[in-house]
A and B are shown apart, each in its own frame.
Chain A
Amino acid sequence: DGGITQSPKYLFRKEGQNVTLSCEQNLNHDAMYWYRQDPGQGLRLIYYSQIVNDFQKGDIAEGYSVSREKKESFPLTVTSAQKNPTAFYLCASSIVLADSTDTQYFGPGTRLTVL
């Protein structure tokens, strides 16, 4: 089945720890994105990548890092510098970078809680 997978589904982190969220897609999409969703707020863009070995900061990149070594994979690291990391993290992909007519497909998300 084609799609986007994210793991783990739930993640608990102690303060001061770095954690890495996995995102894999087999849709052969060039563009991938990471969003964060908090209660009562819209999705906010953390990082995006339109091609392997290239990525750009989104609106709230501070405290996060990414890599894009393979087309299929776009892992997100939440570092200890992120002051309020508890949130629902969503990975998405599209054929091209946010083309005005292109659909973004989302993975099932990772719910991160800082203890």
Chain B
Amino acid sequence: RKEVEQDPGPFNVPEGATVAFNCTYSNSASQSFFWYRQDCRKEPKLLMSVYSSGNEDGRFTAQLNRASQYISLLIRDSKLSDSATYLCVVHMEYGNKLVFGAGTILRVKS
């Protein structure tokens, strides 16, 4: 089983739609979680950290479910500019390293 798993997509949605991605992780001891955004042929950039209580940043909401070992990202009112690959990232206490999922592709269409 991969340490971090994501649905690769692509998710094709119209502008204005709400879309959600899930990511599962294997190590129950993991403490920190992040969503990064990566545009085509560019470097990943931090979108948001995921806190135990959940957090919201504008149209983006991240949630953590420790019991089921998954995190989610919800995007409301999708914009064309939201089209990108969204990487789920988990901090592994063992080895003190970040583990990246393969990413979920989002395509927002007009």
Interface residues of A (CB under 8 A from B): 35, 40-45, 48, 58, 88, 90, 97-98, 100-101, 103-109, 111
The residues in B between 82 and 108 inclusive whose CB is less than 8 angstroms from any CB of A are 87, 91, 93, 96-103
Interface residues of B (CB under 8 A from A): 4, 8, 31-32, 34, 41-46, 49, 87, 91, 93, 96-103
Cα distance A88–B39 when bound, in Å?
13
User: Smallest CB–CB gap between B66 and chain A, Å?
Assistant: 15
Which of A40, A45, A48, A105 contacts B102 (CB under 8 A)? A40
Cα distance A90–B13 when bound, in Å?
30
Q: Which residues of B contact A44 (CB under 8 A)?
A: 100
A/B interface sample: 18 pairs, CB < 8 A: A40-B8, A42-B87, A45-B97, A90-B44, A97-B96, A98-B91, A98-B97, A98-B98, A100-B31, A100-B32, A101-B32, A101-B49, A103-B46, A105-B46, A106-B44, A108-B43, A109-B42, A109-B43
Chain A contact surface mostly: loop
Evaluate whether A42 and B102 lie within 8 angstroms (CB atoms) in the complex, with A98-B96, A100-B32 already known. Answer: yes
Chain B contact surface mostly: strand
Q: Which residues of B contact A43 (CB under 8 A)?
A: 44, 87, 100
Q: Which residues of A contact B31 (CB under 8 A)?
A: 100
- The chain B residue with its CB closest to the CB of A104 is B98
- The chain A residue with its CB closest to the CB of B2 is A42
Q: Which of A43, A45, A88, A101 has the most CB of B within 10 A?
A: A43
Which of B4, B34, B43, B98 contacts A90 (CB under 8 A)? B43
Not counting A45-B97, A98-B98, A104-B98, a sample of 20 additional A-B residue pairs whose C-beta atoms are within 8 angstroms of each other reads A40-B8, A42-B102, A42-B103, A43-B100, A45-B98, A48-B97, A58-B97, A88-B41, A90-B43, A98-B96, A98-B97, A100-B31, A101-B32, A101-B49, A103-B34, A103-B46, A105-B46, A106-B45, A108-B43, A111-B41
